[in-house]
Amino acid sequence: MKEGIKMSGFLIGIVIGAVIIYCGIHYVRKVEKRSFLSYLMERLLFLFVKPLIYSKDNPEKFEQELNKLAKGNDIPITNPKKYIKVDVQEKDVDGMQVFVWNDKKDANQKVILFLHGGAYVQQPLMGHFTLVNKIAQAIDAKVVFPIYPKAPKHQYRETYEKLEKLYRGLLEEHTNPNSIIFMGDSAGGGLSLGFAIYLKELSLPQPKEIVLFSPWVDIATDNPEIASYEPFDPILKQSGIHEVAKLWAGDDLKQPLVSPLFGDLSGLGRISIYIGTHDILYPDNRLLHEKLLKEGIEHRYIEREKMNHVYVGLPIKEARVDIQELIEELRK
């Protein structure tokens, strides 16, 4: 009898749980108008991600965190082959660690130069390698993945000089510039666009495509609209990345090589922007889109309601749809 009661209670619990889950999914789809998994991921990010936060009341804590990151940045990155299950070569370009894989030794093979995010102070995550590898495998592209110098020990000029040597090396290998794709997320997205401007100043060939995932295009991060979006962003905080920007750029946070939103974007490779509205970088990405429209510059702008920072790297429906669409574009 008791066992029967326990079983009945267990079954009732399952039914109630199923009803709650169903109602939750229905609410998210009908009211939130997004996939349930994207909503769940956002909740988890709020729980587990610890953004860099700068407080005038406790600047020492921020400095301690940066020093910890700087020490980690001095250690070479482990070969990512264990993450992506392919053979990965490692080389040195002017003291900069560079990973290369899927190299067919064909001048016309597509080449993805991937610049990872991390607010210019953090090393790449496993997700950076898996994201670019997914795209590369789909279009049979060679991947060039530099571990570029970062703040607080290094500034953008040194990084650009090393990236220039890497890029010239690609061209010397007879790589067709029309086969090159710049790709980057967050800080790496801003760096990708800034580097394209830098190459134009040197009269070097442009890549065919510049693909930007939630790029940081104004590192001053002082757009007054940001405050309206910060409560919805579980990953970035304005105070933290603004302080980091000073270490990376020096005194002029608005010059185009660090804040490409203010640069001359004509004559660059075709720009593609992927951004979500639950991202403090959204207002500046919207400004970038409007600038490109005003100047008549061909580009692609994909804006996703209620998506988080670099949502394309998350295991959610919206990311799968947009990455597949990008793959089809890059195959052309």
Question: Is 42 among the domain residues?
Answer: no
- The C-alpha atoms of residue 132 and residue 101 are separated, in whole angstroms, by 11
Q: Supply the mean pLDDT for the chain.
A: 92
Residue 55: the pLDDT is 74
Measured in degrees and rounded to the nearest 5, phi and psi for residue 55 equal: -125, 130
Question: Is 40 among the domain residues?
Answer: no
> 90 and 17, same structural domain?
no
> 8 and 137, same structural domain?
no
Residue 18: the pLDDT is 45
Name the band, by pLDDT with cuts 50, 70 and 90, for residue 54.
Answer: confident
Q: How wide is the angle at C-alpha 174 spanned by C-alphas 166 and 106, nearest 5°? A: 105
Q: Based on C-alpha coordinates, what's the Rg of the chain?
A: 22
Between the alpha carbon of residue 235 and those of residues 152, 156, 229, the distances in Å are 20, 23, 12
Name the band, by pLDDT with cuts 50, 70 and 90, for residue 278.
Answer: very high
> 221 and 123, same structural domain?
yes
> 110 and 5, same structural domain?
no
Mean pLDDT, rounded, for 196-223:
98
- The C-alpha atoms of residue 208 and residue 205 are separated, in whole angstroms, by 9
Residue 53: the pLDDT is 80
Closest alpha carbon to 302 in 327, 330, 272, 269: 272
- The C-alpha atoms of residue 247 and residue 249 are separated, in whole angstroms, by 6
Half-sphere exposure of 4 (CA within 13 A, CB side): 1
Mean pLDDT, rounded, for 235-247:
94
Q: Is the pLDDT of residue 13 over 50?
A: no
- Kindly report whether the peptide bond that precedes residue 205 is cis, defined as omega within 30 degrees of 0: no
Question: Is 39 among the domain residues?
Answer: no
Measured in degrees and rounded to the nearest 5, phi and psi for residue 286 equal: -65, -40
> 173 and 71, same structural domain?
yes
Q: Are strands 88-93 and 96-101 parallel, antiparallel or unpaired?
A: antiparallel
Residue pointed to by tokens 């990008």: 326
> 185 and 109, same structural domain?
yes
Q: Which range has the worst mean pLDDT, 4-8, 30-34, 201-205, 313-317?
A: 4-8
Residue 23: the pLDDT is 47
Question: Is 2 among the domain residues?
Answer: yes
> 327 and 231, same structural domain?
yes
Question: What digits encode the pLDDT tens for the residues 136-148?
Answer: 999 999 999 999 9
Closest alpha carbon to 230 in 305, 287, 308, 312: 308
**What tokens were used for 60?**
């020492």
Q: How many structural domains comprise the chain?
A: 2
Q: Do 310 and 213 touch, CB atoms closer than 8 A?
A: yes
- The C-alpha atoms of residue 286 and residue 290 are separated, in whole angstroms, by 6
H helix or E strand, kind and range, residue 25: helix 2-27
> 255 and 113, same structural domain?
yes
> 57 and 7, same structural domain?
no
**What tokens were used for 196?**
């394209």
Residue 225: the pLDDT is 98
Residue 22: the pLDDT is 45
Amino acid occupying residue 236: L
Question: Is 261 among the domain residues?
Answer: yes
- The C-alpha atoms of residue 206 and residue 109 are separated, in whole angstroms, by 16
> 68 and 2, same structural domain?
no
Question: Is 11 among the domain residues?
Answer: yes
> 153 and 4, same structural domain?
no
Mean pLDDT, rounded, for 254-277:
98
Residue pointed to by tokens 């490692």: 90
Question: Is 41 among the domain residues?
Answer: no
CA 8 to chain centre: 49
Q: Are strands 96-101 and 142-147 parallel, antiparallel or unpaired?
A: antiparallel
First to last CA, the chain: 68
Q: Which range has the worst mean pLDDT, 44-58, 108-122, 163-177, 268-282?
A: 44-58
> 67 and 16, same structural domain?
no
Name the band, by pLDDT with cuts 50, 70 and 90, for residue 317.
Answer: very high
Name the band, by pLDDT with cuts 50, 70 and 90, for residue 175.
Answer: confident
Mean pLDDT, rounded, for 142-169:
98
Between the alpha carbon of residue 201 and those of residues 196, 263, 268, the distances in Å are 9, 11, 11
Residue 17: the pLDDT is 44
Question: Is 76 among the domain residues?
Answer: yes
- The C-alpha atoms of residue 30 and residue 236 are separated, in whole angstroms, by 28
Domain of 300, in residue numbers:
48-331
**What tokens were used for 74?**
């001095």
Name the band, by pLDDT with cuts 50, 70 and 90, for residue 174.
Answer: confident
Name the band, by pLDDT with cuts 50, 70 and 90, for residue 32.
Answer: low
- The C-alpha atoms of residue 253 and residue 256 are separated, in whole angstroms, by 9
Mean pLDDT, rounded, for 208-233:
98
Q: What CATH number corresponds to the domain at position 324?
A: 3.40.50.1820
